[in-house]
Amino acid sequence: MTRPSFLEAARALSESGAEQLSAVLEKVPFGVYIDHPTRGCTYVNPALMEMYGHGWESLRGFGWAHYVLEGDVDHLQRAIHKFEHTRSSIDITFRIRASEDAPIRWLNARVEAVVGEQQEHLGSIGIVQDITSEIERAERRDEEQKLEAVGQLSARLAHDFNNLLTAIIGNTELLALDIESESGQERLHSLNLIFDQAQNLTSQLLTISSRDIYQPSTLELDSELARLVSLLKTTVGAGVHLELQFSAAGSHVPLNFSQLGQILINLTSNARDAVGGKGHVVVCTKADATRAYITVRDDGDGMTLPTIQRAFEPFFTTKEKGRGTGLGLATVQSIVEFVRGEVTISSEPNHGTTVTVALPLVNPLPDSIKLGATETPRVVPGTVLLVEDDDAVRQSLSYALALVGYEVVAAASVAEARQRVAQVSHLDVVVCDIMLPDGLGTDLLKELRAQWPDLPVVFNSGFTAGATEQMSTLDRKNSLFVAKPFRAREIVDAIATLTRPPVEG
């Protein structure tokens, strides 16, 4: 039996049945329209009006075309031209926007021609679906794949770059012991600032691609921000008036100094660019009963609502090509949300921009896991096994540890470490890179703890993704982690923390 056509089936319906069919078209969840060759759109159902955000009067005739995005007009015109000449089906995707402030919608239209007995074009019928959510999911998958690729590449590059930075700052600190002139010390101070900036740069890429494995940390917001003032002034430049208003004294937040630096450097860099290198930037803090707030405000050009809505997307930037990575605000959001905080933006065109970071208040961590103290660490003399495959880092760190009183046994690999350990009677602490050319520092530690069960270890790595995975398999007792690039002082502080004699009650 031959399948009847739609027209035959429709004609077979009673009048009430035809009315029910019409009612169904009014309720279906996809768009339906009928188009006349000269009069344009002669019917749209409610679903299509909802997609466009406009009623029949706005869409009738050729009104629907007014809402197609400019970038898709040529694409749509070519498809319509081909349709008119070939009567072949159209399957086309395009974007619309109901108004300047409305979100963009992606529509997919499938259009079939209706022809008469003489093959004359009577019109067309189209089925339209809103595929915005599918497009957004696909874009998110693409972003995730892009971030994964960036993470893998940046982690490998950062590993080598962090070793170089650690060697540079280690030798700079050793050089400082031999330079007494005021001008020489000023230049060394500048090198330290440059190191901070380079450290933030590598941390920025690693933070956006993965979770860094810093030890749990807290800091007193205002006092630590005061340490960043010189770096912030360098960041905004001489042409920008930087105003500081700190009103959160005594407020502790769950960040370490490097994370705080990344937040402030990124926000003040954006503010500097917003004012064009000449303007006013205000950094202020305050606190209430549960949260501390960092606000960075500029008097630049401001942002439109669509720009604000995309501001935290990785790689999205409104800056000229070559001047922005689109990672700054994404990095800030990644750090802040990791500690259960929140970042918000308030801005209008020609009225500047205010970015507010809200951080939960926490109790300060006990002294036993604080690193980077300003006072000279109390060094307990002992033997340190230093395992580091980078020659420059190993040499500078060996000198630094020896200068504060430790006996250093240095090795460049797991195999060499085993040989050196066989030649000593006792170890007090291990300083070890996690990712070594012939094995893992975590595996070496397991071997050593078979002989010395409570042996303290300070792990370090410039490859944080791999370090995270390996540290998760380790008993963290008597262990600390210091991310590369680091100053020798951070390692000394970590050793002093782990080997500090118990306080007698």
DSSP string, 411-428: ESSHHHHHHHHTT-S--S
Q: Report yes or no: 489 and 401 within 8 Å, Cβ to Cβ.
A: no
Rounded to whole angstroms, the Cα distance separating 67 from 51 reads 11
Instruction: Give how many domains the chain has, as a whole number.
Output: 3
Is the same domain home to 233 and 355? yes
Nearest to 368 by CA among 456, 290, 280: 456
Mind giving me the DSSP string for 274-329? Answer: HTTTSEEEEEEEEE-SSEEEEEEEE-S----HHHHHHTTSTT---SPTTT--S-HH
The CATH number of the domain holding residue 59 is 3.30.450.20
Tens digits of residue pLDDT in 330-353: 888 888 888 889 999 999 888 899
Question: For the chain, how far is it from start to end, CA to CA, in angstroms?
Answer: 98
Q: Is the pLDDT of residue 221 over 80?
A: yes
Q: Report yes or no: 164 and 67 within 8 Å, Cβ to Cβ.
A: no
Average the pLDDT over 17-34 and give the result.
79
Q: Is the pLDDT of residue 214 over 50?
A: no
Is the same domain home to 430 and 392? yes
Q: What percent of the chain has pLDDT over 70?
A: 78
Beta bridge partners of 347: 353
Q: What is the CA radius of gyration of the chain?
A: 32
Q: What is the pLDDT of residue 370?
A: 42
Is the same domain home to 29 and 71? yes
383: phi then psi, degrees, rounded to nearest 5: -100, 125
Q: Is the pLDDT of residue 503 over 80?
A: no
Residue 100 maps to a domain: yes
The CATH number of the domain holding residue 321 is 3.30.565.10
Average the pLDDT over 185-208 and give the result.
65
Using CA atoms, how far residue 503 sits from 456, 491, 495, in Å, is 18, 22, 17
Q: Report yes or no: 290 and 251 within 8 Å, Cβ to Cβ.
A: no
Q: Which two tokens stand for residue 33?
A: 């329209």
Mean pLDDT (the chain, rounded): 80
Tens digits of residue pLDDT in 172-185: 777 777 777 777 77
Residue 183 maps to a domain: yes
Q: Is the pLDDT of residue 208 over 60?
A: no
Rounded to whole angstroms, the Cα distance separating 192 from 196 reads 6
Rounded to whole angstroms, the Cα distance separating 349 from 30 reads 37
Is the same domain home to 185 and 224? no
In 111-247, which ranges are continuous DSSP H helix?
A: 132-176, 182-209, 221-236
Q: What is the pLDDT of residue 212?
A: 45
Is the same domain home to 357 and 386? no
Tens digits of residue pLDDT in 277-309: 788 999 999 999 999 999 999 998 888 888 888
Residue type, 48: L
Q: What is the pLDDT of residue 482?
A: 84
The CATH number of the domain holding residue 503 is 3.40.50.2300
Mind giving me the DSSP string for 318-360? Answer: -SPTTT--S-HHHHHHHHHHHTT-EEEEEE-TTS-EEEEEEEE
Of the ranges 190-204, 428-442, 484-498, the best mean pLDDT one: 428-442
Is the same domain home to 196 and 78? no
Q: What is the pLDDT of residue 434?
A: 87
Q: What is the pLDDT of residue 124?
A: 86
Higher pLDDT among residues 14 and 237, named by residue:
237
Is the same domain home to 338 and 388? no
Beta bridge partners of 128: 31, 109
Contacts of 42 (CB under 8 A, 6+ apart): 34, 35, 36, 60, 123
Residue 2 maps to a domain: no
Confidence of residue 378 (pLDDT cuts 50, 70, 90): low
* Beta-sheet strands, E only, within 3-154: 31-36, 40-44, 90-96, 105-115, 121-130
Higher pLDDT among residues 197 and 299, named by residue:
299
Query: Domain end: 82, 101, 130, which one?
Result: 130
Beta bridge partners of 220: 252
Q: What is the pLDDT of residue 7?
A: 52
Higher pLDDT among residues 360 and 365, named by residue:
360
Contacts of 220 (CB under 8 A, 6+ apart): 249, 250, 251, 252, 364
Q: Is the pLDDT of residue 276 over 70?
A: yes
Q: What is the pLDDT of residue 211?
A: 44
Range of the domain at 55: 18-130
In 65-131, which ranges are continuous DSSP H helix?
A: 70-86
Is the same domain home to 178 and 261? no
Residue 12 maps to a domain: no
Confidence of residue 368 (pLDDT cuts 50, 70, 90): very low
CB half-sphere exposure, 329, CA atoms < 13 A:
24
Residue 431 maps to a domain: yes
Contacts of 19 (CB under 8 A, 6+ apart): none
Q: Report yes or no: 230 and 265 within 8 Å, Cβ to Cβ.
A: no
Rounded to whole angstroms, the Cα distance separating 76 from 463 reads 48
Is the same domain home to 373 and 502? yes
Question: Residue 22: in which H helix or E strand, if any?
Answer: helix 15-27
Is the same domain home to 406 and 442? yes
Buried b (16+ CB within 10 A) or exposed e, 89-117: ebebebbbbeeeeeeebbbbbebebeeee
Average the pLDDT over 52-57 and give the result.
90
Q: Report yes or no: 248 and 287 within 8 Å, Cβ to Cβ.
A: yes
The total of other beta-carbon atoms located within 10 Å of residue 37's CB is 13
Q: What is the pLDDT of residue 159?
A: 63
Higher pLDDT among residues 209 and 236, named by residue:
236
Query: Domain end: 312, 329, 364, which one?
Result: 364
Q: What is the DSSP letter of 68?
A: B
Residue 485 maps to a domain: yes
Q: Report yes or no: 363 and 141 within 8 Å, Cβ to Cβ.
A: no
In terms of DSSP bridges, do strands 429-433 and 457-461 run parallel, antiparallel, or are they unpaired?
parallel
Q: What is the pLDDT of residue 457?
A: 92
Tens digits of residue pLDDT in 248-259: 999 999 887 778
Is the same domain home to 255 and 376? no
Q: What is the pLDDT of residue 166?
A: 79
Q: What is the pLDDT of residue 470?
A: 57
Q: What is the pLDDT of residue 114?
A: 80
Query: Domain end: 335, 364, 393, which one?
Result: 364
Rounded to whole angstroms, the Cα distance separating 279 from 406 reads 51
Residue 142 maps to a domain: no
Tens digits of residue pLDDT in 379-407: 677 899 999 998 888 888 998 898 888 99
Provide the CA 301 distance to its chain's centre, in angstroms: 24
Using CA atoms, how far residue 326 sits from 149, 281, 319, 323, 375, in Å, is 16, 21, 9, 9, 39
Q: Report yes or no: 254 and 323 within 8 Å, Cβ to Cβ.
A: no
Q: Is the pLDDT of residue 19 over 80?
A: no
**22-31, 109-118, 363-372, 493-502: segment of lowest average pLDDT:** 363-372
In terms of DSSP bridges, do strands 383-387 and 407-411 run parallel, antiparallel, or are they unpaired?
parallel
Q: What is the pLDDT of residue 374?
A: 42
Contacts of 187 (CB under 8 A, 6+ apart): none
Residue 3 maps to a domain: no
Q: Report yes or no: 261 and 228 within 8 Å, Cβ to Cβ.
A: yes
Q: What is the DSSP letter of 159?
A: H
| Tokens 């188009």, residue located | 35
Q: Is the pLDDT of residue 100 over 80?
A: yes
Confidence of residue 472 (pLDDT cuts 50, 70, 90): low
Is the same domain home to 234 and 155? no
